[in-house]
Amino acid sequence: MSDLSVQKDNWRNTILAGLANYIDAGSIVAGSVALALWKEIYGLTDTFIGLIGAFSANAISAGIGAFIGGRLCDRFGRKTIYQYDMLFYAFGMLFLVFAMAPWMIIVGFLLVGLAVGADIPASWSLIAEEAPDNRRGAHSGVAQVLWYLGPVVVLSAAYFLEPFGITGVRWLFAHLAILALLLTLLRARMKESRRWKDVQEHEENKVNWLELFSPKYLGSMVFLIAMYGLWNLWAGYNGFFTPYLIEQNNLPKWAATVLPASYFGVGILSILTIFMTLSDKVDQRTLFGISAIMHVGGMALLAIFGFKLEIVIAHIVIMGIAGGFGAQSFFQLWSAEMFPTAVRSTAQGVTFAVVRIGLGIWSLAVPALASADFSTLAWILTGFLVASGIVGYIWAPSNQGKSLEQLEAERQGA
């Protein structure tokens, strides 16, 4: 096979694996669009809305799915997980498409979250393991572009479907279910990760997953959980609750879909022009640090000036640019680089699980906090971003250009 054919195959596999991100983010944002309608139709309380957020694809169920899926992925292969979990996703999505009672919403998000959670470590591991060593950041960036594309498509569609009310929301969920089924068919032709197969063929490369809790790897997991987990407390609020808060704060009707979609649109441009272009070439700590400063400044705007239209617009532009080359993009990249192939997906599953379950617990409090005093919520979120930025900047690795085997040899030598 020629080099050009290999490159095309690698990019194709990256896109097919990364489409799980589109489906993950799409389900989160479709749920956020539905919140205000569900509240009106079923008379939901802030507590119940917090419960939806906690058990949605955004939080606890995704964390549990990642924990289970990550371990199975290392034992039975990346392809085994990512080929079939989308069927489970489509089944769960049917509960949301046909939801006629609050319990169906909870069950639907629980099943959807389990599926997307299981897919994340499988797809992220495959992308890192199959990407060229000098373009691992660029390939990881494709998955992030797809993560941001999901909300852009869903929110843009929601703007035009708004006159149809809850029926329009059902169509949003239906398109995600159909895409999951199509993705199952397309992934059937994908090959297993060559690095994972090599581990299975050579006994000396195998690692007991319990070693993740040894000093050699535990520090890396704590770093990733702190850096990404603190940032994700803001991101979870942003992705799931922003349209709801725009509705509750009486901003123009169009703002509930157009403004969040604009955030993700700006983020896509940032990933393409900054993260995918520079992450394999320049010092990653510097990139992360710039993003962290922008995140803090953008959130502080809301804390100081309140939930006003012009402030929300400025906030969205700043946060969109910063998000493209910030914590989530680097979490995907670093969580693949910091662990050996034998336990890579397990490590990603554990760290992702802790982060998403923590977000689920936090989500229980967000609606009540926002209703009582948004300024307090905004300052708390700003504090989370400050802490994430400090942790990320101090302990950020710089792995650009190195092979996964070289990084593991350096770790063993240390």
Number of domains in the chain: 1
The answer, yes or no, to whether residue 60 has pLDDT greater than 90, is no
Q: Model-level pTM greater than 0.95? A: no
4 part of a folded domain: no
Looking at the domain assignment, is residue 206 inside a domain?
Answer: no
3 within some domain: no
- The confidence score (pLDDT) of residue 6 equals 64
Question: Please, are residues 361 and 233 in contact by the beta-carbon 8 Å criterion?
Answer: no
Looking at per-residue confidence, does 333 or 215 come out higher?
Answer: 333
Tell me: the pLDDT tens digits for 306-361? Answer: 888 999 999 999 999 999 999 999 999 999 999 999 999 999 999 999 998 998 88
Higher pLDDT, 10 or 158: 158
The more confidently predicted of residues 372 and 89 is 89
What is the arithmetic mean of pLDDT over 110-129?
92
Query: Looking at the predicted structure, is the pLDDT value of residue 229 above 70?
Result: yes
Q: What is the pLDDT of residue 206?
A: 78
- Judge whether 120 lies within some domain: yes
CA atoms within 13 A on the CB side of 209: 16
- Name the percent of the chain lying above pLDDT 70: 97
Residue 58's domain comprises 10-196+211-413
* pLDDT band at 204; cut points 50, 70, 90: low
Give which of 318, 271, 274, 325 is closest to 298, Cα–Cα: 318
The answer to whether residue 152 is domain-embedded is: yes
Residue 204 maps to a domain:
no
Q: Tell me, yes or no, whether 216 lies in a domain.
A: yes
The tens digit of pLDDT for each residue in 21-47 reads 898 888 888 888 888 888 889 898 888
Rounded Cα–Cα distance for residues 225 and 388 (Å): 10
Report the residue count for the chain: 414
Residue 398 has pLDDT above 70, yes or no: yes
Model confidence at 414, pLDDT cuts 50, 70, 90, reads low
Average pLDDT over every residue of 75-88: 87
> Which CATH number characterizes residue 254's domain?
1.20.1250.20
User: Looking at residue 377, what is its pLDDT?
Assistant: 87
Instruction: Characterize 164-198 residue by residue with b for buried, 16 or more Cβ atoms within 10 angstroms of its Cβ, and e for exposed.
Output: eeeebbbebbbbbbebbeebbeebeebeebebbee
Within a domain: 77? yes
